[in-house]
Amino acid sequence: MATFISVPLKKSSEVDLVKPLSKFVTATYPAGEEQGEYIRAVEELNKLRRNALGRPLDKHESCLEILLRYYDQLCAVEPKFPFSENQLCLTFTWKDAFDKGSLFGGSVKLALASLGYEKTCVLFNAAALASQIASEQNLDNDEGLKAAAKYYQLASGAFGHIKDTVLSALNREPTMDISPETVGTLSLIMLAQAQEVFFLKATSDKMKDAVIAKLANQAADFYGDAFKQCQYKDNLPKYFYFQEVLPVLAAKHCIMQANAELHQSILAKQKKRFGEEIARLQHAAELVKTVASRYDEYVSVKDLSEKVNRALTAAKKDNDFIYHDRVPEVKDLEHIGKATLVKATAITPPLSQKFTDLFEKMVPTAVQQSMSIYSQRKAETVNRLVGTMREATNLCNGVLASLNLPAALEDLSGDSIPQSIAEKARAVVQLGGLQSIEQLIKDLPELLTRNREILDESLKMLDNEETTDNELRTKFNQRWNRTPSGDLYKPLRAEGANLSNILDKAVQADQVVRDRYNTHCEMITLLCKPENELNAAIPSANPTKTLQARALSS
């Protein structure tokens, strides 16, 4: 049986994601826990890219999982950062997977400031690695067959997805390895190989010959379609002609047809159609002979050839001596049915089973813009309504003041303190009166000084610790592997800066309190006086108590 076709991986240049993404985070989100969390997520994303693209990957499922996780993260992060040449510009450089360069020049590569380009190339590598993992499976057991079928279908789906999206993602002509023609052909090849794996599984499980024949015939069709795609040489990389791909496709097309004819001949024999049995075996023998003569250096069909020729010899012998059934022409034979058991895996993120979005809490850029517009319009509406309300309130207060309301309603008796003033006086006395307020204001400078001393001492301790850590790191070099103090205590320094700002604002607030106290000190003193003195200080609304009335009465 022919070897399976796998695809080489693309190579990428290193890209620093930390600096531009962190700059965007610090410019967009205020300093604090949320900003720190996003910066750590950016560092983790950069680490994930290095693991996925910065080193050779083994042909193992764990390496494929890393690629899929990175692809899923790119899909998740795309709407949350404004990736573009005018805003957040990240340039990704990738080499053509099939171009190995020449003696006088390097391989073809393309650099684009496009996250869609990065996603396309990462998905290509995931598909390529899936094809390599599938090709390494042991097809002599069920587990290997199932894994191979799974990965070939994943590769087919990934290549098909690139075919449908690459032009819109790049907005320019891509390199030949990710062109729609190339990845479309690769998708067909992977689907054909997945179908072949199901054929091998059915053969291993000794399923009915009718089923096996249909599976083989469908695989032959898939290989035939892929072979036809390779006829357009100008649109495909040289890899398809100089790396054994084209001859392998042609050979497998013939081999799968031969297998279909072989198993259909067994079915014909069971139905006592001995002439049809011989015709199908003859056709199978011709196909195997073609493979052996043209593609022997790529494919070994020795076992299949012996099996077909052995069955053909026995069938001819029985027919010549016993049945004497007429052998029809191949073109007159009934077409073998087809059974498709494969389907390209749909590429719908997340593809990784262990994917967790590093920026799960981050709001997408479009939503942020919508929220900003909403907040602006809401503020305009609220300010307009508040302005109207204030105008109405001022008008109402002016009318009430001209009518001496509500004071005129409270001062009915003219001889006692109004209830509202009495309640306020009692409240002031219960809270300690003027002395309590003066003591609190007096304590403010001392409390402020103490708080500043505590904060300064804390920051000084952090500075001393960082100095010691740097000295030890210089002294012990690699042996001093603890987290740098600058990184470890970054949240504490941010909190210290926040507390310092609070203290500065507190000084301003203290001055406002002093000014208001000085303004209202006389009235507060009056409220602290005994009831008779407070009553004497309040103007009376009783006309008999006024000075003018007393003068007239005397």
d(CA 66, CA 125): 11
Q: Looking at the predicted structure, is the pLDDT value of residue 468 above 80?
A: yes
pLDDT of residue 467: 87
Query: How high is the pLDDT of residue 439?
Result: 81
- What is the C-alpha to C-alpha distance for residues 406 and 396, in angstroms, rounded to an integer? 12
Are 298 and 248 in contact by the 8 Å Cβ rule? The answer is yes
Is it the case that residue 473 has pLDDT exceeding 50? Answer: yes
Is the same domain home to 309 and 418? no
Numbers of helices and strands, H then E, in the chain: 19, 2
Is 217 in the same domain as 320?
Answer: yes
From 193, 195, 197, 159, select the one nearest 178 (Cα to Cα). 159
At residue 487, the pLDDT reads 79
Tally of domains in the chain: 2
Q: At what angle do helices 33-53 and 490-527 cross, to 10 degrees?
A: 170
Same domain assignment for residues 107 and 217? yes
Note down the domain range covering 60. 18-332
Look at residues 298, 332, 366 and tell me which one is the last residue of a structural domain: 332
- Residue ranges of E strands in 437-532: none
Q: How far apart are CA 417 and CA 535, in angstroms?
A: 6
* Structural domain includes residue 483: yes
Last residue of a domain, one of 286, 306, 332: 332
Q: Are residues 63 and 178 in the same domain?
A: yes
Instruction: Yes or no: say if 277 and 265 are a contact pair by the CB < 8 Å rule.
Output: yes
What is the pLDDT, as a whole number, of residue 263? Answer: 96
Does 408 reside within a domain? no
CA angle 255, 257, 261 (to 5 degrees): 115
Q: Are residues 322 and 430 in the same domain?
A: no
Same-domain pairing of 161 and 288: yes
Q: Are residues 322 and 422 in the same domain?
A: no
Q: Classify the C-alpha dihedral 478-482-487-489 as positive or negative.
A: negative
In a domain? residue 384: no
Average pLDDT over residues 397-417: 69
**Is 521 part of any domain?**
yes
Residue 220: how many CA atoms within 13 Å on its side-chain side? 20
At 197-253, the pLDDT tens digits run 999 999 999 999 999 999 999 999 999 999 998 877 677 887 776 567 889 999 999
Q: Per-residue pLDDT averaged across 321-327, rounded?
A: 87
**pLDDT, tens digit, 9 for 90 and up, residues 523-553:** 878 778 777 777 777 766 555 555 544 554 4
> Does residue 309 sit in the same domain as residue 454?
no
- Tell me the pLDDT tens digit for each residue of 475-493: 888 788 878 877 777 888 8
What are the tens digits of pLDDT across the range 9-32? 999 999 999 999 999 999 988 998
Q: Are 258 and 308 in contact (CB under 8 A)?
A: yes
Q: Mind giving me the DSSP string for 250-289?
A: HHHHHHHHHHHHHHHHHHHHHTT-HHHHHHHHHHHHHHHH
Residues 294 and 439 in one domain: no
Per-residue pLDDT, averaged over 386-408, amounts to: 83
Look at residue 343 and tell me if it is in a domain.
Answer: no
Integer-rounded Cα Rg, in Å, for the chain is 43
pLDDT recorded at residue 432: 78
Q: Per-residue pLDDT averaged across 74-85, rounded?
A: 91
User: How far, in Å, CA of 108 to CA of 99, rounded?
Assistant: 6
Mean pLDDT in the chain? 87
Cα 296 from Cα 261, distance rounded (Å) = 21
Quick one: 160 and 267 in the same domain?
Answer: yes
- Cα 59 to Cα 209: distance, rounded to the nearest angstrom: 34
Separation between Cα atoms, residue 430 and residue 418, nearest integer Å: 19
Residue 530 DSSP code: -
Domain membership flag for residue 500: yes
pLDDT at 415: 64
Taking the C-alpha atoms of residue 424 and residue 420, their distance in angstroms, rounded to an integer, is 6
**Domain membership flag for residue 377:** no
**pLDDT, position 106:** 58
Instruction: Identify which of 163-167, 427-431, 508-512 has the greatest average pLDDT.
Output: 163-167
In this structure, the answer to whether residues 308 and 427 fall within a common structural domain is no
Domain boundary among 332, 357, 388: 332
Residue 71 lies in a domain: yes
Residue 288's CATH number:
1.25.40.280
Name, of 85-94, 224-233, 510-519, the range with top average pLDDT.
85-94
* Domain harbouring 539, CATH code: 1.20.140.50
Are residues 194 and 94 located together in one domain of the fold? yes
* Dist CA 292 CA 345 (whole Å): 34
